[in-house]
Structure 1
Amino acid sequence: MESTTKNTPQHYPERTAGGDGAEVVAAAYPGPFRCPLCVTAFTVGHSLTEHMRTHRWEVIFLCGRCSRSCPTIHSVACHYRKCGRHLTRTERRPPRRASVTLSLMSSLAKKKCRRYSVEYLAYGFVPSPRDQLLPMCLLCTCSFSNESMKPCKMKKHLLNAHPEYKDKPLEYFLSLKDSFHKGEHCLKLIGQCSQQLDKGILASYKISKLIAQTGNAHNVGESLILPSVSIIMSDVMNLNARDTVQAIPLSNSTVCRRIDEMAHDIEDQLNVIACATDGAASMVGRYRGFIAHLKRVLPSVFTIHCVIHREHLVSKKIVFSGNCEENNEDFDTLLLHSEVRWLSKGNCLQRFVALWKTIVAFMSEKEYEDKLIDAKADIFYLADMFEKFNSLNKALQGRDNNLMNSKAAVVSFLKKLEVYWHNIGRHEFLQFPNLKTIAEEVNDDDLLVYVNHLKQIQKDMEERCHDLVNLNIPDWIVDPFGVSAVEVDTEIQESLIDLQSDTTARRQFDHYGKDFWVKNDLPNKLPALWEKVQIFFIAFPSTYLVECGFRKVAALTKSRNRMDVATRGDLRLSLSNLEPDIMKLAKNCQPQGSH
């Protein structure tokens, strides 16, 4: 018997006397495969499966190791390769030929799958909504197996579980069935409406944010946006826009409430570490100024006088005071009022110099020609100087400006001033292109005035910007990879070593330079370093953003009350770069504000 098994490629034991449901070893993997009933050979296991169905037998493939059932010959072969559940180290590994067992079940022994009949409604049963092959009782909403799909079992359940309903007519169960299906339909509708309402609330927040950022009136959503959406959906997309439009609440009060909620969410994200102001008493007053109040609330806040305002005061005081003294005026200062701090005076004087001949000809008719010609050198010199002040103004502006950039710009300008008065005293006008064009008309007395003027500007600017000039910026911030960790404070030595050992951070520093500190995820990776660095890169040294906000204020006051601008959240949403957490607000929002 053993030799017969080895010589024959496949061995099929005879069908047992058990009849239906007997198990027969059909084949060893890989094939050929033979039918145990008619001994027909097949090269593919799937073909054997289809062939067995012609004998009205159902095939189940079992793993020879763990007896796990698989739907196809290929799946059981793959499973056999991975299966080692019954093997031990002492056993010899069998050959890679899995014996596949076929459970052959007669169609007579196969379980019959019963179908639902409308006659079963008389016992209070309907098909289950989850599976139409399972019966469900309308009275207790319990589902049963398919084997219970028999009149006798249904009647038994009705008599035992619900005896009070045994004499109910068929019409009663019909009405109960209709009520059940209507309730199920309502639940589906409620779920769809709830999902649609959630999307509508989310859209309401996003549209309200756009309304605040553009400075439009709050009623524009209901009067313009929703009608526009309705037209687009109906005319362009050929969709019914009624339900969609009604799911987006954009009334005047709703938009106002949404904007305030998003503004409060942004305010919760704020972390004030520095404040820049002008020199007004209401801002820097010792007792009642804003800075004094802020330091009582937040003692560690860093405060700085706006660098653009300081430079503006230097240039304006020098020029205006000189003119007042020459005209013997009673006052040598001018009360400042609201104006743009970075007004390009350099460009104005450049245009004046470019039109010099035309202006002189015009003034000759007014009898001011001689005075204008006498001041020609002064005008050309001031045109060059205000052009340089204008360049400094541009360097101190921008949303990305910080203390390091501002200090570099101011220190550079102070050093340039020293070079200017040295060169102009030696009749070198390379840095003064307008004055160079009339170099032959400039005398020594004029040059002496210009030298003193430049020295006075340098001195005044050093006094006004002494805190910025003397600001200590550690070397490891400028070049974190070129400074030894031994030279820095003890509390950040380990963090600096971790940073210097990070090759990815080094490549980022080579690419971004000093901006690497804000591009990298430093607050989460190295909080000790970020605690020292953040003041130099986050603190804003000027009131540039405040000046930019004036235009927003002017636009907002045109469409609503001035008090609303101060108390509502429109201004914060229109100026802030922070994004509100709209998803969180939409989840916590009530569909109806009055509920």
Structure 2
Amino acid sequence: MKAHTIAESLVMPATKILVKHVIGEEAVAKLESVSLSNNTVQRRIEEMSSDIADQVIAGVRASKFALCTKVLPPKLLSSLNRVMKIVNFVKTSALNTRLFKLLCEDFGSDHICLLYHTEVRWLSSGNTMRRLFELRDELLVFFMEKKHDFHKDLEDEKFISRLAYLSDIFGALNHLNLSFQGPNCSVSDFILKLGAFVWKLDLWIKNVERKCYGLFELLTTLKSEPNDQFSQEIVHHLSLLKTELMYYFPDVTRCAYIAHTFSVDPADLPVGTGEQEGLIDIQADETAKMKHKECSPMDLWVSMASSYLTLARHAVPQLLIFSSTWECEQGLAMMTIKSKSRNSLAAPGHDF
């Protein structure tokens, strides 16, 4: 690694000359106490990097989608916490992990281990619960042999029903979250996908109210259907989830023409802003139609900015918004950070 000597060899001498002429000799003397050695500069760089990493991690933990887990009704939340305790009991003990693996191998199970849950990777809770649901019979035998109270949960039909439902709903959120990841995903794509998910929530609520549970893959594999009380619990949770999403992601489709330039009715745009007239002009522009088919929304509006300034002034800032934390997480994954917070992002030896 190249030594951090530029501050000592270039920046400090230049600063002394500047301070001498602007402030005086006494100020120059004070600069002598400032340490700019290679070790000092390197340590400060590492401290700043660690602080930046901590801020990014805190941002990921406070992700608006993570708040979806905060709207769980008490009984569902209790089941979720119980699941994590079961997983931690097995995964945090090397002996329990080995014993459970041997038991699964003896049973000829499709899986031989549970999945670990981390606070940062909040969506891992969906995968964690699904794996536990799939290995519930093996876990029941494991805890009965150990004479642990967890076997009572796994024998409780209500707990298993809630586990199945939580696995299904978090699986749907997993799928939604993955659709936001990757390059060239704009906020307009985000809005459309989120709107579709909210629409699905309305549909699911109506289906559950009619005692139709076909949309929940694991829940429908159980012998008994949810009773009225659990059905109301599901409806309540789905309603809370919709309210939470609409609160944190309000309707921002004012610039609907960003991605669907030639299908939006100009009359739907605000009057007096010039957007209606501009949209009519661009919809009549054959060159713009060709570019719309060939280019991404960003490339289209950047190339047409000089011709349709009013529309571009609204469209380009919307397209520059990060639609998810994916870009941040990709950058963080490439960083070498030595801190307790960074360590919590990964758990060597566990599969996710």
Q: Secondary structure at the match of 1:393?
A: helix
Larger relative contact order, structure 1 or 2 (CA cutoff 8 Å, min sep 6): 2
C-alpha distance 525-342 of structure 1, shift in aligned 2 (>3 A):
farther
1:473 is aligned to 2:227: no
C-alpha distance 359-339 of structure 1, shift in aligned 2 (>3 A):
closer
Partner of 2:240: 456
Cα distance in 2, alignment partners of residues 320 and 548 from structure 1: 35
* Unaligned segments of structure 2, at least 5 residues: 4-37, 39-54, 82-117, 340-352
Alpha-carbon RMSD across the aligned residues, in angstroms, is 3.8
Deviation at 1:349, TM superposition (A): 1.9
1:444 to 228, 233, 242: 228
Deviations 1:378-397 (A, max 9, x none): 11111111101111211233
Asked if the contact 2:213–2:220 (Cα under 8 Å) also holds between the matched residues in 1, the reply is yes
Partner of 2:142: 362
Q: Hey, which of these two has a bigger chunk of helix by percent?
A: 2
Deviation at 1:401, TM superposition (A): 2.5
C-alpha distance 405-279 of structure 1, shift in aligned 2 (>3 A):
farther
Q: Which amino acid aligns with 2:172?
A: K
Asked if the contact 2:278–2:311 (Cα under 8 Å) also holds between the matched residues in 1, the reply is yes
Q: Secondary structure at the match of 2:155?
A: helix
Q: Which amino acid aligns with 2:126?
A: G
Cα distance in 1, alignment partners of residues 80 and 330 from structure 2: 36
2:319 to 537, 541, 554: 537
Q: Which amino acid aligns with 2:210?
A: R
Partner of 1:310: 64
Q: Secondary structure at the match of 1:542?
A: coil
Partner of 2:123: 343
Deviations 1:481-523 (A, max 9, x none): 34566775554566545533432321332455xx344246223
C-alpha distance 458-423 of structure 1, shift in aligned 2 (>3 A):
same
Asked if the contact 2:125–2:170 (Cα under 8 Å) also holds between the matched residues in 1, the reply is yes
Q: Which amino acid aligns with 2:72?
A: I
Pairing 1:41-56 to 2, within 5 Å after superposition: none
Pairing 1:158-237 to 2, within 5 Å after superposition: 217-218=1-2
C-alpha distance 431-545 of structure 1, shift in aligned 2 (>3 A):
same
Q: Hey, which of these two has a bigger chunk of strand by percent?
A: 1
Partner of 2:52: none
1:410 is aligned to 2:190: no
Deviation at 1:218, TM superposition (A): 4.7
Deviation at 1:437, TM superposition (A): 0.7
C-alpha distance 414-546 of structure 1, shift in aligned 2 (>3 A):
same
Q: Secondary structure at the match of 1:499?
A: helix
Q: Which has the larger radius of gyration?
A: 1
Cα distance in 1, alignment partners of residues 162 and 174 from structure 2: 18
Q: Which amino acid aligns with 2:141?
A: A
C-alpha distance 373-508 of structure 1, shift in aligned 2 (>3 A):
farther
1:420 to 204, 208, 214: 204
* Number of residue equivalences: 246
Identity %: 25
Asked if the contact 1:410–1:469 (Cα under 8 Å) also holds between the matched residues in 2, the reply is no
Cα distance in 2, alignment partners of residues 307 and 487 from structure 1: 38
2:172 to 382, 388, 406: 388
C-alpha distance 487-544 of structure 1, shift in aligned 2 (>3 A):
closer
Pairing 1:482-501 to 2, within 5 Å after superposition: 482=263, 489=272, 491-492=274-275, 495-496=278-279, 498-501=281-284
